[in-house]
Amino acid sequence: MKKGLEPDREIERSILTKYRRELWNPFMAAIRDYELLQSGDRIAVCISGGKDSMLLAKLMQILSRFSETPFEPVFLVMDPGYDRENRKKIEENARLLQIPITVFETKIFAVAERAAKNPCYLCARMRRGHLYSKAKELGCNKIALGHHLNDVIETTVMGMLYGSQLQAMLPRLKSRNFEGMELIRPLYRVREESILAWKRYHGLEFIRCACSVTGTICDDGAGGSKRQEVKMLLRDLKRENPNVETSIFNSIHAVCLDTFPAYKTKGSTHSFLETL
């Protein structure tokens, strides 16, 4: 840390200086390009305690001070049943980063443990529902999640390899079950390697999933082993083609429906035969 600066000030300063190109600029590009902010928004910034959500909270906090579009962040932590050590780590990191968190408790881990099939999927669905409910109760109209560019890429590849579908992850979408609520992903253009570099530079330690069902590997319902397989596959491809991740990310922004034999939109399937 720089002499004369408090830890939280130095951490914040690095986002705007040393890691401006890797963190702040792509964060702001997503805010701008996907129109994630509107004047008067009250946004529940959802913090799981991991590196991604903690960085997101700090970025949103900084932006709220300088943004020409006035909005209010609410830093929301849901405790799904963390053990004492993980709960303590989240609270310590929030104090270190000077992020004023609002914590509420659920029993999601306990419920997921009793699930015979797909506990990760059940956990992810319940988490999302509880976050929307609490955010709405607090007067928020949006929730912000910490999915980054690599999450987007991996989800796209997993859908092709294991789900038999070409499906991406949107940077912004309206909730179907909570009227007037939206989900936004401000880290959509931020690379995981940049987050890791920032974390290592400051010697920060964050919790991982802390899930009692799957241990340290958890990925919101997609299956830890499959996501790890895709990570390794992309890592291997990157050795031969350093731009492979960029190419995949850009491809979901340039989908040519005219070349697809079939596609889905708004729940309906369409065939290329309809346009012949």
Which of 8 and 121 is assigned the larger pLDDT? 8
pLDDT tens for each residue of 211-253: 655 444 343 334 457 888 999 999 999 999 999 999 999 999 9
Q: At 205, which amino acid appears?
A: E
- Other beta carbons within 10 Å of 67: 15
CA neighbor of 195 nearest in space, from 35, 58, 45, 8: 58
Cβ within 8 Å of residue 149, ≥6 positions away: 26, 187, 188, 189, 190, 191, 192, 245, 249
What pLDDT score does 188 carry? Answer: 98
What pLDDT score does 52 carry? Answer: 97
Q: How many residues does the chain have?
A: 276
CA neighbor of 49 nearest in space, from 216, 188, 197, 169: 216
Main-chain dihedrals φ then ψ at residue 103, nearest 5 degrees: -105, 135
Which residue in the block uniquely carries the two structure tokens 């492979």? 244
Residue 122 has pLDDT above 80, yes or no: no
pLDDT band at 174 (very low <50, low <70, confident <90, very high): very high
- How far from the centroid of its chain's Cα atoms is residue 171's Cα? 10
Alpha helix positions (H), 41-103? 51-66, 84-96
CA neighbor of 65 nearest in space, from 104, 134, 124, 16: 16
Query: Could you tell me the sign of the dihedral formed by the alpha carbons of 3, 196, 193, 236, in that order?
Result: positive
Query: Out of 3.40.50.2300, 3.40.50.720, 3.40.50.620, 3.10.20.30, which CATH number does the structure's domain 7-220 have?
Result: 3.40.50.620
pLDDT band at 73 (very low <50, low <70, confident <90, very high): very high
What is the spatial distance between Cα 33 and Cα 110, in angstroms, rounded to a whole number? 40
What pLDDT score does 221 carry? Answer: 38
What pLDDT score does 1 carry? Answer: 47
Name the token pair of 253. Answer: 């922004």
What is the spatial distance between Cα 185 and Cα 174, in angstroms, rounded to a whole number? 12
Residue 17 has pLDDT above 90, yes or no: yes
**Mean of pLDDT values over 162-190:** 95
Query: Domain residue spans in the chain?
Result: 7-220
H or E stretch including 209?
none
What is the spatial distance between Cα 257 and Cα 24, in angstroms, rounded to a whole number? 33
Average pLDDT of every residue of the chain: 90
**Mean of pLDDT values over 182-197:** 98
**Mean of pLDDT values over 16-38:** 98
What pLDDT score does 108 carry? Answer: 84
Interior CA angle at 20 toward 16 and 24, to 5°? Answer: 85
Residue by residue, DSSP assigns 118-181 as -HHHHHHHHHHHHHHHHHHHTT-SEEE----HHHHHHHHHHHHHHHSS-----SEEE-SSSTT-
Asked whether 245 and 238 are in contact (CB, 8 A), the reply is yes
pLDDT band at 273 (very low <50, low <70, confident <90, very high): very high
